Amino acid sequence: MSKELRNLAIIAHVDHGKTTLVDAMFKQSGIFRDNQQVDTCAMDYNDLERERGITILAKCTSFLWKDIKFNIIDTPGHADFGGEVERILSMVDGVLLLVDAAEGPMPQTKFVLTKALSLGLKPIVVVNKIDKQDARVNEVIDEVFDLFVALGANEEQLDFPIIYASGRNGWAALSLEDERKDLSPLLDKIVSHIPAPKVDESAPFKMLVTMLDYDQYLGRVLTGKILSGTADVNESVHALRGDKVVENAKLTKLLSFEGLKRIPIEHAQCGDIVAIAGLSTATVADTICSISVTEPIKAIPVDPPTLSMVFSINDSPLGGQEGKKLTSRVIWDRLQKEAEGNISISIKKSDAQDCFEVSGRGELQLGILIETMRREGFELSISRPHVLYKMDEATGAKLEPMEELYVDVDDEFTGAVVEKITLRKGNMVDMRPSGSGKTRLKFLIPTRGLIGYYSEFLTDTRGSGIMNRSFCGYEPYKGPIEDRNKGVLISNSNGSAVPYALFFLEERGTLFVNPGDPVYEGMIIGENNKGNDLDVNPTKTKQLTNMRASGKDDNIKLSPPRVITLEQALSYIQDDELVEVTPTCIRLRKRYLDAITRKKMSRQEK
């Protein structure tokens, strides 16, 4: 017997409480036993998602409420993972727009909402965290309405219902005066406002693949929404890509979502979101359908990558000592696997030997890929990120990707932030007070102007500033941007860093290494106070003599070194430098380790 269905996505900015609200829905729908131990943020099951507090992968889940099956997709909140968002919106019939009662709609909210409104999806606005002390509910609702108007919402979409909620406390209400008991008002509103999927059960089976992952027992698992017909286990199907048949196969497994799990089923109804196994070649954006079908489903185009990096083997003297996956063949296979499931990433072999160019939406997306690979045991050398330019076909002018940058900063730091962003070719388009002594600034800035700026921004605002960005299109090239204004300290010998040597190097700049850390010729061990690079010897020891001297046995006290994260390292390096990534360490190095070779190459480039 077919169940009534509701397919919806949750759209929200990073840390606005999206995953927490889904957890509360699970508990109140009876997915978990009363005595079951449940993690908070159960849908963020990826280690990186738990550590960073953001959703990276789109995830589908399901539960029953009053005999209606809810298929809910948790969407990433960051624009770098927009490729995920665009695909999954094709599976749903409505969206929950979740906004923080204090922060209001933010850039990533705008990014995903634009996609949803253009598809004609019906929204429900949920104002979350209304129990916060700095909540400004009425102003936030006005901001949401203004955002809908600015994004070209139609009259039906502008007449959106508003739900007031606290995901952490597990309640929702239709007005601020209503009883705050459970999430029933929200779930009932979803049933009444978001339509059931429009389907044709009598037509042949058709499904568009929107997600791909791997199961250690089933192999490749393809997830999508059944747009017409029904599916049965062992049914013969073929995969279409454009006008071509990619492969013929049988549906060896049909899987339905129930809570956080996938459970095997024998029959899948039209309009349901299911996962299938048994196909070895079909991938994201392909159409899986009955043998009689020859017309594929049109896939939603994905915005192109804006940033690229070069991945290469780790050829440093310490290469192979910490990781197990070292060769270019293994790295290429892993990158191909990533590109197959994530269509917003593209890869190609570079002209240089053992080098691969990887393009994506932004530093965060590529940083997540690198971090995932290092945890899998890979050793890599990563180049500085470069933006991908376009040429204007009409004028022949060079175009570069632009970003909308939103900055929330204390009033006292506004001047410093505006000055720094202006130097990076940013153009301020809006400035308004946001309450509590803070100012919200909006800029249009080239993507390359933001590479390496975040750490500088945190320093300028003493860690209190919030910066958010989203891709907004291409504009004519804005001219050169000044690079890092300080040089680096480069090791000129191999060995281990010695406290005696580091003590005398501290006056030259900021160190990146601890005493006892392995170093090698060409490795960057610190930042020079001046603008030039300086070759130093961090392995120099004190000469032993048989003469006694006052103070000879004094303890050497060193300042703690600067700890550099992967994102900071990628934004810090210059064109002639690389980030060495291993499962245990992140090191900075020069592209050419030998000092004489570095001088030759710098002369040639000039």
Give dist(CA 227, CA 5) in Å, integer: 13
Give dist(CA 274, CA 108) in Å, integer: 27
By percentage, how much of the chain surpasses pLDDT 90?
A: 29
pLDDT (average), residues 362-380: 88
pLDDT band at 539 (very low <50, low <70, confident <90, very high): very high
3-state secondary structure of 556: coil
What tokens appear for 290 in the block?
């009955």
Of 500, 513, 493, the residue nearest 560 (C-alpha): 513
The predicted-structure confidence for 324-351, as pLDDT tens digits, reads as follows 998 999 999 999 888 877 777 889 988 8
| DSSP letter (8 states) at residue 81 | G
pLDDT for 200: 80
Give dist(CA 349, CA 328) in Å, integer: 11
The predicted-structure confidence for 318-327, as pLDDT tens digits, reads as follows 988 888 998 9
> CB-based contacts of 50: which residues, under 8 Å, 6+ apart?
41, 44
pLDDT band at 367 (very low <50, low <70, confident <90, very high): confident
Most confident of 46-55, 79-88, 429-438, 584-593: 584-593
pLDDT for 42: 47
The predicted-structure confidence for 246-264, as pLDDT tens digits, reads as follows 899 999 899 998 877 889 9
pLDDT band at 35 (very low <50, low <70, confident <90, very high): very low
- Choice among 245-254, 433-442, 515-524, 546-555 with the minimum mean pLDDT: 546-555
pLDDT for 312: 93
The topology under which CATH files domain 488-605 is OB fold (Dihydrolipoamide Acetyltransferase, E2P) (2.40.50)
**Is 554 exposed, middle or buried, given 0-12, 13-18 or 19+ CB atoms closer than 10 A?**
exposed
> CB-based contacts of 335: which residues, under 8 Å, 6+ apart?
311, 347, 356, 358
pLDDT for 107: 63
**Contact assessment for residue 25 and residue 115, using Cβ atoms and an 8 Å cutoff:** no
3-state secondary structure of 544: coil
- Answer yes or no: same fold for 4-193 and 206-290: no
331-366 b/e with 16+ CB inside 10 Å = b?
Answer: beebbeebbebbbbbebeebeeebbbbbbbbbbbbb
> CB-based contacts of 14: which residues, under 8 Å, 6+ apart?
53, 54, 77, 78, 106, 108, 468
206-290 CATH:
2.40.30.10
The predicted-structure confidence for 481-522, as pLDDT tens digits, reads as follows 877 788 999 999 999 999 989 998 999 999 999 999 999 999
Give dist(CA 113, CA 109) in Å, integer: 6
3-state secondary structure of 576: coil
390-476 CATH:
3.30.70.240
**What is the residue extent of each domain of the chain?**
4-193, 206-290, 390-476, 488-605
What tokens appear for 530 in the block?
């001046």
3-state secondary structure of 446: strand
* CATH 3.40.50.300 is right for the domain spanning 4-193: yes
pLDDT for 205: 92
pLDDT (average), residues 289-297: 89
pLDDT (average), residues 280-290: 87
